[in-house]
A and B are shown apart, each in its own frame.
Chain A
Amino acid sequence: MTAVVSHPVLHVVGLTKTFTIRSRGRSAALTAVDDVSLSLAEGETVALVGESGSGKSTVARCLTRLVEPTAGSVQLDGRTLRGLTWKQMSRAYKDMQMVFQDPNSSLNPRMRIADVLDEPLRLHTDLTAAQRRERVVQLIQEVGLGEEHLRRYPRELSGGQRQRVGIARALAVDPKVIILDEPTSSLDVSVRGQILALLARIQAERKVAYLFITHDLQVVRKIADRVLVMYLGSVVEQGPTADVFDHPVHPYTRALLSAAPVAEFGRPRTRFHLQGEIPSPVDLPPGCRLAGRCPMTRPECTTAVPPLLAVSADHSAACPPALYSPEAEPHSGPLPVPSVPERP
C-alpha cells in the first residue's frame, strides 16, 4: 500500500461506548461515547475538549482498549484494530502509547525509573540488555532529565519530573500516536509550560501525532492544530483551533469558551449562559443533548440529534445555522423541554 500525503495515522469512525448500569433492580443504558469520528495525521495535534462527563476520557480508554468499545472502527496506521487477538493487539499498540493524567498513580512506586523505561523496550523490541540500557539513557535525556534520575524511585521525583518520565515511557517504543489524557492538569502553571514545550519539541523531531485530551482551553489554543468539542458523549463542534476559538458556533462551545478565565486585567467578559448543569447521561431523551439548557432551544431541537453540519471547509457544528446565525434571537419564555433530571 502506498501512503498518500494526507494518510491519517489514526482513523476512528463511529466510536460508541454504552455501559449498562443496574440500580435498584432496574437496568439502564449509559451512553458515554456516542458516534465519535476523528482522524489524526502524522505530526498533528488534535485536542479533545469537554467538561466532566463529556466522554473524552472514555474515548481515550476505548482507543487503547482499556475498555471495549460497543461499536465503531479504529484504524491505526492503516490497520484495523478490531478482531485482533490480544497478542496481535499488543504488537499493534506499539504504535499507540498513552500518557496519563496523574503521574503519581501511573508509575509503579516500586520500580526505579530505569526499569519503568526498560519495560516497554523489553516487551516490544528485540534489543539486547546493553542496547536497552543505552536507549533508556537516550530517553531520559530526551525528556530533559539526567542519568542520575534513572536510579531513583518515582516518589523521589517532583510532579513535573514524573510526568516527564511518563512521556519518556510513551516514547520508548517510538509510537506514531500518543494519547495524552490531561497530562498537565495536575501540574503548577510554571511546570505546565515546560511540559508543553517539551511535547512540542518531541513532535517537531519525531513527527508523532498527539491526541490531547484536556479541559484546559488555554493549552488547546497553544498547541492544537484542530479541536473537537464534546458534550455528553457527542462531538458538538470541530475544526481548526483558531476557527473554533475565534468563531465558535455551537452554543455549548460558546458557553465553554466564554466561561474560561483569562489572566488579563480589565478584560471585558460577556458570558454565554446555559441553564443548570450537565444532566445525567443515563437514558437521555431524544434530540440535541443541550436542549433544555440552551437559550436557543426550539421545539425541533428535541426530536432528533442534529448532525454535524459544515460551517466552513473544515469547521463543522452539530447545530443548524438558523439557530446560531446573528439574526437568531434567544428563545423567550419557558424552554420547550422540561428540565432534564439532575445528575446524582
Chain B
Amino acid sequence: MPSDTILDVTDFSGGFTSPTGFTPVLHQVSFGLRRSVMTAIVGETGSGKTMTALSILGIAPRGFTRTEGTMVFDGLDLVAGAPQSFRDVRGKRISLVFQDARGSLNPVFTVGHQLIDVCRVNQGVSKKEAAAQALEMLARVRIPEPARRMKQYPHEFSGGMAQRVMLALALISRPELLLLDEPTTGLDVTIQADIMSLITELVVSEGLTACLITHDLGVVAENCQDVVVLRNGRVRETGSCEQIFTAPQDEYTRNLLAASRLVEAL
C-alpha cells in the first residue's frame, strides 16, 4: 500500500570533514514530501537547503558525510544501500533541475542530442523513438519551433528557454519526484512567472511530486502547498502553505516573512 508521502527524511544530519575538523551543516533534518504535492524548502544562504536536495540524490559534494538519519524514497532506503542501488532511482525516478540552466547543459552538444541521450539511457529505446520523445518533450515545455531548436546548442538559448530545456531533460525520464533547486533565480520576473506556471501545470498534469528549493517566499506563496523552513541546517517549521503564511509559529519564519514583505517584524 503506497503511503501518503513519497519521500521521508528523518533526523538527517551531516557535515563537511576537512583537515581542520568536522563542520556540521545539517542537524536532524526531518520532513516528508506528500505525493502529487509541490513542497517548498525555504531558507537563506547557508541554511542547508541545497545540501539537503543533493543528499536526496546522493550527489552531495566530496567531503560531505552523513552522520545519522535516513532518507526513504517510496520504501527504498536511499542512504543505506550501495551506490548501485541508487542508479535506478537517481535521474530516473527522481530528477533534478539546477539553478543555472545554461551552465548545467553541456555546451558542446545540441539540446536534442542531450535529450535523446537521457531518454535512451533511461528507457533503452531506439534513437528514432528517443528523438520523437525529445521533440514531444520540447513542445510540452512550450519551446516554439521545437524541431529547429532540437538542433541548436545551449548558447543559442535565452536563460528562460534554457530553463525550459532543463525541465524537458528532467521530465523525459518520466520521474515521480522532481527536485527544483532555485529554478528561477537569476531570471527576470516575467520569465520567472512563465516558468513557474509551466512547472505547476506540468506537476498537475503528470501527477508529479515536486520539491522546490528557494529563498523566494513570493514564489512559494503562489505555487506551493507545503512548506519546510530551514535555517542553519535545522528545520524551523513545517506546515501547509496557508499555515506558514497566515499563522507562522516560529520566530524565524515570522522574521523571514516580514523581511520578504519589507515590513517590520511583529
A-side residues, CB < 8 A to B, are: 51-52, 159, 188-190, 192-193, 196, 215, 217-219, 221-222, 255-256, 259-267, 269, 271, 274, 276-278, 342-344
Cβ of B158 within 8 Å of any chain A Cβ, yes or no, is yes
Partner of B193 from the list A196, A217, A271 (CB cut-off 8 Å) is: A271
**Cα A290 to Cα B156 with chains together (Å):** 22
The yes or no answer to B256 lying at the interface (CB within 8 A) is yes
User: Contact between A261 and B262 (Cβ–Cβ < 8 Å)?
Assistant: no
8 Å CB interface, B198-240 against A: 215-222
A265-B256 contact in complex given A188-B215, A260-B189, C-beta closer than 8 Å:
no
Task: Indicate with 1 or 0, residue by residue over B224-262, a CB within 8 angstroms of chain A CB atoms.
Answer: 000000000000000001101110000000011111111
Q: Is the CB of A263 within 8 A of B221?
A: yes
Check if A269 sits within 8 Å of B222, measured CB to CB: yes
CB atoms of B158 and A189 under 8 A apart: no
Q: In the complex where A189-B256, A265-B246 touch, is A259 in contact with B192 (Cβ < 8 A)?
A: yes
- Chain B nearest Cβ from A168, distance in angstroms: 22
Contact A264 B193 (CB under 8 A): no
B158 A263 Cβ-Cβ under 8 A: no
Count of chain B residues near A, Cβ 8 A: 37
Contact of A263 among B44, B155, B260 (CB under 8 A): B260
Chain A residues, Cβ within 8 Å of B241:
265
Residues of A contacting B193 with CB < 8 Å? 259-261, 271
Residues on A with C-beta less than 8 A from B196 are 261
* B161 contacts across to A, CB distance below 8 A: 277
Flag if A263 contacts B190 (CB, 8 Å).
no
Question: B189 to A193, Cβ gap below 8 A?
Answer: no
B45 CB–A CB distance under 8 Å: yes
Chain A residue, CB-CB nearest to B194: A259
B191 interfacial contact with A, CB 8 Å: yes
Q: How far is the CA of A27 from the CA of B222 in the complex (A)?
A: 45
**Beta-carbon contact of A193 and B218 below 8 Å:** no
Measured CB to CB, the residues of B under 8 A from A are: 44-45, 144, 155-156, 158-161, 188-193, 196, 215-222, 241-242, 244-246, 255-262
Contact A215 B256 (CB under 8 A): no
User: A243–B61 Cα gap in the complex (Å)?
Assistant: 49
Closest B residue to A266 by CB, please name it: B242
Partner of A52, one of B188, B215, B218, B245: B188
Contact present for B256 and A261 (CB under 8 Å):
no
Q: Judging by beta carbons under 8 Å apart, are B256 and A217 in contact?
A: no
CB-based contact B222/A261 at 8 Å: yes
Q: Which residues of A contact B220 (CB under 8 A)?
A: 263
User: What 8 A-B pairs are tightest by C-beta distance, nearest first?
Assistant: A261-B218, A265-B245, A51-B188, A263-B217, A259-B193, A188-B44, A263-B260, A189-B259
Could you list some 29 contacts between A and B, CB below 8 A? A51-B191, A188-B44, A189-B260, A190-B44, A190-B256, A192-B262, A193-B258, A193-B259, A215-B189, A219-B262, A221-B262, A255-B190, A259-B192, A260-B218, A261-B189, A261-B222, A262-B221, A262-B261, A263-B220, A263-B257, A264-B261, A265-B242, A265-B246, A266-B242, A267-B221, A277-B191, A343-B158, A344-B155, A344-B156
In the bound complex, how far is the Cα of B44 from the Cα of A192, in angstroms? Answer: 12
Closest to A53 in B: B188
- Distance in Å: Cβ of B100 to nearest Cβ of chain A: 14
Complex Cα gap A260–B262 (Å): 14
Residue of A nearest to B264 (CB): A193
Cβ-defined contact, A263 with B189, below 8 A: no
For B221, list chain A residues within 8 Å (CB): 261-265, 267
CB distance from A236 to the nearest CB of B (A): 14
Beta-carbon contact of B216 and A261 below 8 Å: yes
